[in-house]
Structure 1
């Protein structure tokens, strides 16, 4: 994990990461691309849309900020408008009482996972996932691990053709001005801004005004401390996440795995 260099106005600056900095990040990114190719990315967005409508109480993004954020993300990833409208319409027709739950999991090598599911039968879903966990040296935790994470707004974007100064220096200045808490430059000059979950929309809007090209913006569980795993445990965790994400009830998975 990268160590802070210095603080200015409560903003933490970090060194620019080098290509291949995180094997786990690369594994997860590759699987995400494959999921998109198989259409699973759209399936995940469909689940998130349904959750946002239920929790926000409205199928109208103007009245439902969480839904608006999910729809923006879906459109950035080229989810067809007709498909989006079909999902929204289905939530009005299907009144099945599904709810979102957070399952807490202990994985190999002191890794922990938060698994968001959307289901109308939690007992059945827990049982289904338990068989997957057992095959991957994992199980539901006896004591909560949610306190090991904090909800944060995460915005990833590009600033194309910027040559006036170092891109991290530019992003750092904008982070201070726009109210972000942290900024990193990842592989391929992908810039990641971290902010409070409440300020996500504000920071996103300011970045767009400043000509940043947003690739994703969402509220996620961020670990307070990262856990380093060996090669064997990394492979087990990778396979575990892939199996879990293939389940129709699973919305999102968060972990504390580091470089």
Structure 2
């Protein structure tokens, strides 16, 4: 988990400096739309994908009105020309790192071409289906600003699988189906979570040099800038001196 913990810190620092708010909001609203349509319900209590999408949007401070409007439009059949499909891509980055990409698209040919172009331009390579997926496991991840012993005990009591303490607080790993049960349990115990979302955690990490880490970060940034890409995961063991500028 140490590598993932470091990446979580990097993501938060990048997010704090990210000025492309409209792009971030658009990605979340796309995920919400897809969740309503694929789940056949606009009620998050009976649609886990929608619940996940709403939670992720709120974690990135997407306005509640935007979230509610997206749910209403999707449930009402608005924008019916956009039927988003969930697709994943796998590839390799500098230093032998693995990259796993989650996307939502209404045009698979366009998306794969865009993803391949990023890899080709930035020094990576797009792999075949299954080439790196086996290295990542889907988990729930909760970020808690409070890393006290009481918070750790509560997390374990409510079903956490793993805990990591960092300068930013406590990172809690759960079974993906238990994410919200653990979060709700922590809330009932008086602990407020900063973020709760589904993630892909690498089973093993690969240490990369500062030079390769910089190249990999540029690949990740370019992939995340694509409209269709929702999430990018890597198994890199990021160096402490990584420049996020």
Structure 1 and Structure 2 fold alike (TM over 0.5)? yes
- Cα deviations across residues 23-79 of structure 1 (Å, max 9, x unaligned)? x55543332223366333322321221232233222222321221232233234432
Most deviating of 29-38 and 206-215: 29-38
Structure 2 Cα separation of the partners of residues 25 and 258 of structure 1: 12
Q: Per-residue deviation at 1:113?
A: 1.0
The match for 1:254 is 233
- Name which one, 1 or 2, has greater alpha-carbon Rg: 1
The match for 1:47 is 30
Most deviating of 24-33 and 140-149: 24-33
Tell me the secondary structure at the aligned position of residue 248 of structure 1. coil
Q: Per-residue deviation at 1:178?
A: 1.0
The match for 1:68 is 51
Equivalent residue in structure 1 for 2:132, among 132, 145, 148? 145
Gaps of 5+ in 2: 239-245
Tell me the secondary structure at the aligned position of residue 213 of structure 1. coil
Equivalent residue in structure 1 for 2:62, among 75, 79, 89? 79
The match for 2:243 is none
Tell me the secondary structure at the aligned position of residue 55 of structure 1. helix
Tell me the secondary structure at the aligned position of residue 37 of structure 2. helix
TM-score by length of 2: 0.86
Q: Is 1:170 aligned with 2:150?
A: yes
Q: CA RMSD in A?
A: 2.2
Distance 1:94 1:201, change over 3 A: same
Distance 1:70 1:234, change over 3 A: same
The match for 2:241 is none
Q: Per-residue deviation at 1:101?
A: 0.3
- Cα deviations across residues 140-171 of structure 1 (Å, max 9, x unaligned)? 11352111011111011223xxxxxxx44323
Q: Is 1:187 aligned with 2:167?
A: yes
Distance 1:94 1:84, change over 3 A: same
Equivalent residue in structure 1 for 2:94, among 108, 122, 125? 108
Structure 2 Cα separation of the partners of residues 115 and 241 of structure 1: 9
Contact 1:229 1:258 in 2 (8 A): yes
- Cα deviations across residues 102-155 of structure 1 (Å, max 9, x unaligned)? 111111111111111111221221112211111111111135211101111101
Gaps of 5+ in 1: 4-20, 160-166
Tell me the secondary structure at the aligned position of residue 214 of structure 1. coil
Contact 2:36 2:50 in 1 (8 A): yes
- Cα deviations across residues 167-218 of structure 1 (Å, max 9, x unaligned)? 4432332232111111112223x21111101111111110111111111111
The match for 2:179 is 200
Distance 1:100 1:84, change over 3 A: same
Structure 1 Cα separation of the partners of residues 24 and 192 of structure 2: 20
Contact 2:224 2:231 in 1 (8 A): yes
